[in-house]
Structure 1
Amino acid sequence: MASELKNLSVFSTDNLPDIRHRRFAIVVAEWNAEVTEALFEGAYQTLLQYGALTENIVRGNVPGSFELSLGASWFAQRDEIDAVIALGCVIQGETKHNDYINHAVAQGLTNVGLQTGKPVIFGVLTPNNQQQAIDRAGGIHGNKGDEAAITAIKMLGLQQQVYSFK
C-alpha cells in the first residue's frame, strides 16, 4: 500500500515477541544523511519501545545505499546478531541510477536474508524527490525506520513460531 494512503508509523503490535535478549544491527547509509539519520532514530526508538536493550543494538554506517547489502551481510553472518535493519534513501533524480541502485539493494538484502536465515529488513526509501523522502522519514507519512524495526520484530516472532512448531 502506498504510504500516501497509510502512515508508516502506524502498525499492529498484537502478539509481538519478547525481544529483550535479541540483538539487532542497524546498517545506515550516509548518503542523504538528513533522511537516513531520521530513519535510524525511528528504528532505534521503536526497538527500544518494544523491549530491545540499548546494549543489544549495534549501528554500522556505509557510504551509500548500494553498500547496504554488504554491510548487512557482514552483520548477519555474526552468530550474535538476530536481525539486521538496512536503512537508506535513493532519490530518483535526473538519471536512471535509482533504478539500478534500488534493484541491486533489494536483491542484495533479499539474498542476505535467504543465505543466513535471518530477518534482513529493507528500510530503504525510494522517493521521487527530497520532500517525499522527508515526508517518509518522520514527516506527514510517518517514519519508514519505525516500520522497518517493527518488521524485524515481527519476523523474529515468526521465526520463533516456525522453529518451535511441533
Structure 2
Amino acid sequence: MFGADKGTAASDRLNGKKLNIGIVQARFNADITDALAKACKTELLALGVSDKDIDHVTVPGALEVPVALQAMAEKGKYDALIALGCIIRGETYHFELVANESGAGVTRISLDYQLPVANAILTTENMEQAIARQTEKGRDAAQVAVEMANLLESI
C-alpha cells in the first residue's frame, strides 16, 4: 500500500517502468501546449516510462480532449492518461464554457473507466500565467499519471 504510514518510498510510487501512458494534447495555444507536452514526455522518460510505451495524439482544442481520452480508455491498453491543453480567459463567457466542460469530460473519463487521467489543461487569465506554468504543469502531469497508475495497481 501507498502512503507515508506504509513507508513506501517516493521512488516506488514514481516508478514508470512497465507503464503504458497515453497523452492527448490540444493544439489550440500550441506554443504553450507544445511546451507542456515536451516537459511531460521528458519527465515520463525520467520516471522510467519507455518511449515506445508513450502514445501521443493531438486534437484541435480542449473540448476535443475528452473524446480522444475516451477512445484511448476504450482500448484498455493504458495504465494512465494525460490531458494537455491551455485555455486563456477572453472577454466572453466562452472561457468558462470550455474550461468547465473540458474539465468535466476529463474527470468523467477517469471515473467511468477507473483509469487515472492527469489533467494538465491550464486555465489562466493571460498568456503570461500560461507561460509561467507550462513546464511545471507538464512535469506534474507525468508524475501524477505514474503515481496514480501505481496506486490503482496496488489497490
- Normalising to structure 1: TM-score of the pair? 0.84
| Aligned residue number for residue 27 of structure 1 | 24
Percent of aligned pairs sharing the same letter: 33
RMSD: 1.4
Residue of structure 2 equivalent to 1:4: none
Whichever structure has more helix as a proportion of its residues is 2
Give the Å deviation of 1:25: 0.6
Which of the residues 149, 152, 161 maps onto 2:145? 152
Match of 1:37 in 2: 34
Code of the aligned partner of 2:80: A
The answer to whether the 8 Å contact 1:84/1:120 transfers is yes
> Residue 128 of structure 2 aligns to which amino acid in structure 1?
Q
Matches within 5 A, 1:54-93: 54-93=51-90
Query: Over residues 119-161 of structure 1, what are the superposed CA-to-partner deviations in whole Å (9 max), with x where a residue is unaligned?
Result: 11111110100111011113xxxx2111111000110121022
Q: How many residues align?
A: 147
Q: Matched residue of 1:136: which SS?
A: helix
Q: Where does 1:128-139 land on structure 2 (aligned, <5 Å)?
A: 128-138=125-135
Tell me by how many angstroms 1:89 deviates: 0.3
**Letter paired with 1:161:** S
| 1:34–1:95 CA distance, 2 compared to 1 (3 A) | same
Among 107, 110, 114, the alignment partner of 1:110 is: 107
Q: Runs of at least 4 residues of structure 1 off by over 3 A?
A: 12-15
Offset of residue 13 of structure 1: 4.0
Counterpart Cα distance in 2 of 1:95 and 1:134 = 22
Q: Following the alignment from structure 1 to structure 2, what is the Cα–Cα distance between the partners of residues 134 and 94? A: 20
Name the TM-score, length of structure 2 as normaliser. Answer: 0.90
Structure 2 gaps of 5+ residues are 1-8
